[in-house]
Amino acid sequence: MRPGGQPNFKQLMQLQQQLAAAQAELAAAEVTGTAGGGLVTVTASGSGEVKAVRIDPTAVDPDDVDTLEDLVLAAVHNATEAARALAEEKMGPLTGALGLPGM
Domain boundaries, the chain: 9-97
- Report the pLDDT averaged over residues 27-36: 93
Q: Are 53 and 75 in contact (CB under 8 A)?
A: yes
Q: Give the model's confidence band at 90: pLDDT under 50 very low, under 70 low, under 90 confident, else very high.
A: confident
From the options 3.30.360.10, 3.30.1310.10, 3.40.50.720, 3.40.190.10, give the CATH code of 9-97: 3.30.1310.10
CA distances from 32 to 13, 15, 22, 66 (A): 33, 29, 19, 22
Residues 92-101: pLDDT tens digits? 777 666 665 5
